Homo-oligomer: A and B are copies of this chain.
Amino acid sequence: MSTQRRQAPTIHDVAQHAGVSSMTASRVVNGYPHVRPAVREKVEEAIKALGYRPNSLARATRTGVSQIGMLYSNASSSNLSNYLMGAFRQASLSGCQLLIEPSQAHPTPAQAVQKLVDAGVGAVILPPPLCDDAAILEALEKAGVGAVSFATARPREGAPAVFIDDFEGARMMTQHLLDLGHVDIAFVRGDPAHSTAQLREKGFRETMAAAGLTVNEAYVADGGFSYRGGLDAARHLLGLRRRPSAIFAANDDMAAAISAVAHGLGLSIPADLSIAGFDDTSVATTVWPELTTIRQPIADMAASAVLLAMDLARPSAEPGGHVQAQLQLIQRASSAPPPA
């Protein structure tokens, strides 16, 4: 019978409790100036006492923050949950409404963008490869809708973007394998059409060179970023007379495929072969042993993208900044020193 639902306290309750007007309470909540320290403290106590939390929906109606459009493509599907999670969490906090649109649900990406524009969004977030699509960017500019590039390999000057340093990530992983003592390191590259793939390969090659090692070209295989391609690459690399002691794949899907082939050949991971991936998608912790990989803070990046998009949606839209996310080397069980 104790089903009395606690009504969430409003800013008026806080104001009354503190003996001030709701406007003053609002100023305290938002950290605005022109409030005497004594009053500020009194309001803060009231907030604490009542457990007040601002209602971001109501706030948004008044401040008029418009809707933010967000596209997603199947390509990033393995990281999709993190992408969505980070974006939605931030949207909730900031009280903005997120319209998500799967770009593959439309004949062309441009139509997906158009749908969002028609829905009245104030800005859109574009993941690759849409963020590098000149036609889409032009259409958005024409409609007066700002765009935030997400995880683009080539941030545009003067346009807001959130991205990682693929080169640096590949460098970190290559260095990790070198530090373990590996010398015969193979690389499975992604789809060379993606600038991301090029940067990762460059990071690998330059780090090897910096260590004074020459890259054996037989040790560089194409994997096209897919599991299927990874299978083929692994069969080639592990069938060589002189096997590499470590394989660095440009993404986790390919690394998982390499793991499968290695298992099949009776190789023990990581005792006989070290494997490294990139992205830290769910497959990295699904396969056994779990993959050493490079994690991108996708959720944080998505949250940043939402904030940038909200800035962009304001009438006083400034060019907006760039946010570069920090990468992290996640060392798991798939990498170890080479066999003696």
A interface, CB within 8 angstroms of B? 2-6, 8, 51, 53, 55-58, 60-61, 66, 77-78, 80-81, 83-85, 88-89, 92, 95, 97-100, 118-120, 122, 142, 144-145, 226-228, 231, 253, 256-257, 259-261, 263-266, 282-283, 286-288, 313, 315, 317
Contact of A119 among B53, B142, B228, B261 (CB under 8 A): B53
Q: How far is the CB of A227 from chain B (nearest CB, A)?
A: 5
A169, chain B: closest CB distance, angstroms: 21
Q: Smallest CB–CB gap between A89 and chain B, Å?
A: 7
Bound CA–CA A95/B80 (angstroms): 23
Name the B residues within 8 Å of A226 (CB-CB).
Answer: 288
Kindly list chain B residues whose C-beta atoms are within 8 Å of the C-beta of A80.
81, 85
**19 A-B contact pairs sorted by A residue (CB < 8 Å):** A2-B144, A4-B144, A5-B313, A6-B120, A8-B66, A8-B120, A55-B61, A57-B97, A78-B282, A80-B85, A84-B85, A88-B88, A89-B100, A228-B288, A231-B288, A260-B260, A264-B265, A282-B283, A283-B283
Selected contact of A315 from candidates B5, B81, B283, CB within 8 Å: B5
Dominant secondary structure at the A interface = helix
Which chain B residue lies CB-closest to A142? B2
The 6 closest A-B pairs by CB, nearest first: A264-B264, A81-B81, A260-B260, A80-B81, A8-B120, A228-B288
Which residue of chain B lies nearest to A55 when distances are taken between CB atoms in the complex? B61
Check A118 against B51 for contact (C-beta < 8 Å).
yes
B88 with A100: CB separation less than 8 A: yes
Contacting A260 at CB < 8 Å: which of B53, B66, B263, B315? B263
CA distance A57 to B55 in the complex (A): 11
With contacts A84-B81, A119-B53 known, is A260 near B264, CB below 8 A?
Answer: yes
Q: When chains A and B are docked, how far (Å) is the Cα of A160 from the Cα of B287?
A: 36
